Structure formats: C-alpha cells, structure tokens
Amino acid sequence: MRKLDLIQDALQALQPEQLEVLDESHTHSRGQETHYKAVIVSEQFTGLNSVKRHQKAYAAMGALMQQIHALALHTYTPEEWAQQGTAPASPVCAGGHK
C-alpha cells in the first residue's frame, strides 16, 4: 500500500468531514514518497489551538510519522473551513533537494 493511502487511513481516526492528502514529493528530486500535505476538516479540532490540532494528527499517524520527511498540516473546524474554503499553497522546499 502506498504511503499516501496509509496516511489517509490513519487520519480517519479524526473522523474528518473532509480529508485531502497530497503527495508533494514531486517537488523534490529524491524520487521518494517523503513530502505530504494534509487538509483535515474535523469537529475534533473545535476549541483547540493549532499545536493541539497537530498533536492530534501526529497521534493518529503514530509510527507512520517516522517514515515521512515533511507533512504540512492544515487543520480546520467545519465552521473555519466554510469561511476559508481552501488551504494555502505549500512553499517550495528550500533544502536538501539537489
């Protein structure tokens, strides 16, 4: 199973109303599946600051986090997502790609 699928499966523990996981490894020349972006919309984030939200996502990922070099997390409550509607674009990786 691809890591992208494993990440999606692991993040289901957050009972997301919306979940999008993108493999952004193509922006790096390593040729490995190591860079990901996850947009997670979940009621479980209500009342939590961004650090606590990320901790919940990391806990859901468990040991899988050790296999990933970079994971950009964009976490929203349903209300925040209704207002925002989109996650920011990922920055270009500045190190170790050449």
CA-wise closest residue to 7 among 91, 67, 49 = 67
Residues pairing with 48 in the sheet = none
- Give residue 94's pLDDT: 61
Is 60 exceeded by the pLDDT of residue 29?
no
What CATH superfamily is the domain 3-83?
Answer: BolA-like (3.30.300.90)
Q: Give how far the C-alpha of residue 28 lies from the chain's centroid of Cα atoms, to the nearest Å.
A: 17
Residue 35 one-letter amino acid: H
pLDDT given for residue 97 in this prediction: 46
pLDDT value, residue 83: 94
Percent of the chain scoring above 90 in pLDDT: 61
What pLDDT, on a 0 to 100 scale, did the predictor assign at position 28? 63
Q: Could you state, in order of their start, the residue ranges of all structural domains in the chain?
A: 3-83
Q: Do β-strands 18-23 and 35-41 pair in parallel, antiparallel, or remain unpaired?
A: antiparallel
| Average confidence (pLDDT) over 5-27 | 93
Q: What is the pTM of this model?
A: 0.86
CA 10 – CA 16 distance, rounded (Å): 11
Name the amino acid, one letter, at 71.
Answer: L
* pLDDT, tens only, 75-97: 999 999 999 888 888 776 665 54
DSSP state of 82: H
Whole-number Å distance between alpha carbons of 84 and 10:
25
Residue 8 CB: number of other CB atoms within 10 A?
16
